[in-house]
Structure 1
Amino acid sequence: MSNEPSRAYITKKILQRRYGRLLKWRKPVVHNIRGPFHPDVFDGFAFDVALSIRVCEETLQDLTDEEFFERFDLRGEVSNETHILSERLTLAELKAVFQQEPVWFAGGFGVEGREADVQHWARMQRWSLDEAVALSIGYEPYGDLLDGADGMPVQNDVLAYYYKRRALIEDNFDWGGEASPRKNCVSDVVRWFDQVVLDVPQQLLAAADKYHALGIGKKSKLGCSSSADDKPLDPRERSTMLKMIIALAMKGYGYDPSAERSPTPTEIESEMNLLGLGINLDTIRKHLRSGATLLDDEVFDNVRPSERIKKE
């Protein structure tokens, strides 16, 4: 009778015991919303985790059946005292790797899956300071952002942006003290957001306006209609838009995202101006860079930009 099924089962238990949730860990998708933007901040950790799991699997595969079953029990735990020390060292090494996991906001606050439920929060009557800061940036409030984040990798400018935003909102309202914190009226906070033209999600302003009759929607600077097509893009729609932009730039203009300098942004700017659709050159460059971050490494390595499509 083959031992393969039971060996595969035990191997699965070993990996679960050693890696836990990191077996299902995937590199977060970071969108450029507001504040610093570092989409590659998780690359190193993603590589380390994948490499560690692969090495572990290959090491287990290299054991003979006799060595494997002599070392591990059905729960994936070391059953032989002579191997307990080596297993402890293995777990200690893995723990050191896991401690290098960046916090979720390490590369910026526009992390896919962390978006604020603005419809829910706009229906509230009062917000705490932590809630107001989180919603003003665009992520779902999870209590104090820094709880449990001590010593975990995060870009300094991301933290600086958070502290600056928090200090600004804290200074303009009475939030009470640590012993007796208080909340402030949503209508007051949102009116202040609008009054000082703070860079906050437009969806938040619109939802708060709807539920609290603030009247701020009547002051739209762009004169946009309220049709469904004019609603701000959610992160998934924005990701789709950026994919279209980078595909058209590469295959239509011969844009090379890896080039230090490219004439493509200037060409696009010129043609947009000819159509009466002027867009700032820096904005074009920003969207091209954001689109390039969505390319898979394999695609990026194998798909080269085409020559520009010739005009008739």
Structure 2
Amino acid sequence: MDKSVRTEIIEREYNRLLEPVTRWQRPQLVEAIGPNDLDAVAVFEEKLALVEAEVRSALESLTDGFFDSYGQVSYSSLKINSLPDIAPICEKVSKLAKTRPSSISCGFGAVPLRADFSYWRTMPKLTLHEALMLSVGLDPKSYSHDHLNDMQKRKKKIEPLWSALQFLLDRREVFRRFYPVGVSGYMSMSFPTLKRALETFGVELDQEFREALTFRCPDADHANETTKPSKSFSSQERETLLKLIAGMASEQYGFDPRHHRSEVIKNIQEDLDRAGLSMDAKTVRKWIRQAAELIPDAYWKD
């Protein structure tokens, strides 16, 4: 057989046989929270280099008999793989392919899995799954809710998971503790309410997600400043605004200054959050109580 033809066949088979494992490329990484399995990735890459060298050597040492047979079966990869000289090579590559890492093995810093926060931070609310994934920097579409459930089943069967996926499943249990539940399942949550819950539970967050929360939820001091009446307000204008607040708080929310353990303040705060108007409970309580002072005492006597 012509030497150039032989060389062409070797290159073709080298690329074909190794394709199941050479599809792997370590992704570009950014700094991220959570665990990874980079040690396992390094081991795979070392084995890959050895197998590549072994496959090259095995192909270059094939006899003329193989190349004579090759022409008769070259139309079918299955038939080529069944040839006695190729079968051992296929088995070696197949064994290595079973240990091929996924991108998540590099942790939540793998760029292909990262969320586009310029998009997600514009959402009015986030579902539990969206907030969970974004909290570690992942695009919510990279792993679906059902996919996570399947991984949970694998865990129960004592099948190993990549460290980052195990971390994600554990974190989902934390999120389930503070996400509100409705008739049809977990409800969506506004950014301000979510931010308070994450702070309460002390959840470590991906830096980009933390920046998105800050963008959507100005700090408390700033929020308080924006709620202070303008110095240009006249006394009459201020009193008019307080009367509006008093009427809505008492008639629509059932506020009663005699009830110190009322849920009204919390309800008003949550409604403000849903409207995208973040305000801390202390500020809400301050203005509601000032407004209530304008209501005649006779009103509170049932």
Match for residue 104 of structure 1?
103
Task: Report if the CA contact (8 A) 2:179-2:186 is conserved.
Answer: no
How far, CA to CA, are the matches of 2:87 and 2:185 in structure 1? Answer: 45
SS in structure 1 of the partner of residue 217 of structure 2: coil
Match for residue 60 of structure 2?
61
Aligned with 1:185 (options 184, 189, 193): 189
TM superposition shift of 1:90: 4.0
Match for residue 163 of structure 1?
169
Cα 1:147–1:48 change in 2 (3 A) is: farther
Please identify, of 145-154 and 163-172, the stretch whose mean Cα deviation from structure 2 is larger: 145-154
Paired residues for 1:211-290 under 5 Å: 213-216=216-219
> Which 5+ residue runs of structure 2 have no aligned equivalent?
223-302
User: What one-letter code is carried by the residue in structure 2 that aligns with 1:77?
Assistant: S
SS in structure 2 of the partner of residue 53 of structure 1: helix
How far, CA to CA, are the matches of 1:101 and 1:147 in structure 2? Answer: 22
User: What one-letter code is carried by the residue in structure 1 that aligns with 2:203?
Assistant: L
Match for residue 117 of structure 2?
118
Task: Report if the CA contact (8 A) 2:24-2:100 is conserved.
Answer: no
TM superposition shift of 1:173: 0.8
TM superposition shift of 1:122: 1.3
Cα 1:194–1:155 change in 2 (3 A) is: same
CA RMSD of aligned residues (A): 3.7
How far, CA to CA, are the matches of 2:139 and 2:35 in structure 1? Answer: 18
> Which 5+ residue runs of structure 1 have no aligned equivalent?
220-312
TM superposition shift of 1:45: 0.9
How far, CA to CA, are the matches of 1:12 and 1:152 in structure 2? Answer: 38
Match for residue 143 of structure 1?
143
* Residues paired across the two proteins, number: 212
How far, CA to CA, are the matches of 2:70 and 2:198 in structure 1? Answer: 62
**TM-score, normalised by the number of residues in structure 2:** 0.55
1:71 and 2:76 correspond? no
Cα 1:49–1:147 change in 2 (3 A) is: farther
User: What one-letter code is carried by the residue in structure 1 that aligns with 2:171?
Assistant: R
Task: Report if the CA contact (8 A) 1:175-1:184 is conserved.
Answer: no
1:95 and 2:94 correspond? yes
Cα 1:68–1:186 change in 2 (3 A) is: farther
Q: Which has the larger radius of gyration?
A: 2
Task: Report if the CA contact (8 A) 1:31-1:39 is conserved.
Answer: no
**What do residues 275-295 of structure 1 show as CA deviations (whole Å, max 9, x unaligned)?**
xxxxxxxxxxxxxxxxxxxxx
TM superposition shift of 1:148: 7.7
User: What one-letter code is carried by the residue in structure 2 that aligns with 1:170?
Assistant: R
How far, CA to CA, are the matches of 1:185 and 1:45 in structure 2? Answer: 41
